[in-house]
Amino acid sequence: MEIDQIETFLAIITYGGFHKAAERLHVSQPAISGRVRALEASLGAELFTRGRARPELSPAGKALRPHAEELLRNVAMARRAIHELQPQTAGVLRIAASLSVCTYLMPDVMEKYRAANPDVMVHLRSGNSMQVLKMVLEGEADIGVARSLNHPGVETMTLRDDPLMLVGHAALRSAGKRHVRLEEVESWPLIFYDRGSSDWTLSQGLFRRAGLIPNVVLEVETIEAAKRMVERKLGFSFLPQIALTQELRKGKLVSIEITDAEPLRRNLDVVHPRKRPLTKEALDLFGILRSESDKALPAMSRAPRGRAQPAN
């Protein structure tokens, strides 16, 4: 049994098939199949029920899964223990984060991190969630911060819930309705941003699933541009909670609950490579990220954290 076989087994589960796992792990599909056959041979049991559009776990596969996940966590801890024995060079921390995280969370985080770690050189790069994940997987970043990041090659730790919230200017008459039905919102002037992004898809999908057509009066490139338009009373928008902390606290904008639709929830996650243990610099950052994300999140909206902690 080899580590890459375990990683492949979990990738097939995560992405729903051999072909998709091959794409994500950047290897050929025959290589994926070979790893699975070798793992099954070493265990003496089939792990997947084949012959279906989507491979399903066999009883042996279901039994193996929690142990496989624990094994990869232990490998990361072992690597970290060895890493800590090596001579330390000057501290460098490479961070990849989504643009909204860079804009609305990282300034406060960096202020505290720099005060506590003045000798650490920090490199902060931004991108969308998939770009952040790619930078972490390819060794271009020690730690990544973005929304809903999952991959068998990384350890994922949830910081907080970061839902999309429908908001409007407090002075608008419609904004006085704090609880509305989706069909009412359909006719409101709506502002969307970043066409084709996951945020755009989530908010548009809310109407599409209900058979409604939103009244889009304005489309812009960024979250900040959409928020500024809402502040100018030009319409309403579905914006990430992380971008609205100050405006909601000061009463400049108000949030509106849609009573007959599911909340547009997403997690704000921190990831690091399973094969590369977190450095001391990255562990220090993680602690500050948790503290600052809690401060930015209203107490009533805090969600329990159920996923992994960083290996110490």
Residue 260 phi, psi (nearest 5): -110, 25
- In this predicted structure, the answer to whether residue 154 has a pLDDT above a threshold of 80 is yes
Report which DSSP code applies to 243. G
What average pLDDT does this structure show over 231-247?
93
The answer to whether the beta carbons of residues 161 and 267 sit under 8 Å apart is yes
Strands in the chain per DSSP E = 48-49, 56-57, 92-98, 121-127, 143-147, 154-161, 164-169, 179-180, 190-193, 216-220, 236-240, 253-258, 267-273
Spatial strand order in the sheet of 253-258: 179-180, 253-258, 164-169, 236-240, 190-193, 216-220
Among 1-5, 88-92, 207-211, the range scoring the smallest mean pLDDT is 88-92
pTM comes to: 0.64
List pLDDT tens digits, range 93-136.
999 999 889 998 999 999 999 999 888 889 999 988 889 999 99
Cα 54 to Cα 13: distance, rounded to the nearest angstrom:
10
List pLDDT tens digits, range 272-308.
988 777 888 888 898 899 888 776 554 334 444 444 4
Among 46-60, 75-89, 206-220, 231-245, the range scoring the smallest mean pLDDT is 75-89
- Identify the pLDDT of residue 246: 86
| Domains of the chain listed by start with CATH number | 3-83 (1.10.10.10), 92-161+266-301 (3.40.190.10), 164-258 (3.40.190.10)
Report which DSSP code applies to 194. S
Report which DSSP code applies to 189. -
SS3 of residue 257 by DSSP: strand
Residue 36 phi, psi (nearest 5): -65, -45
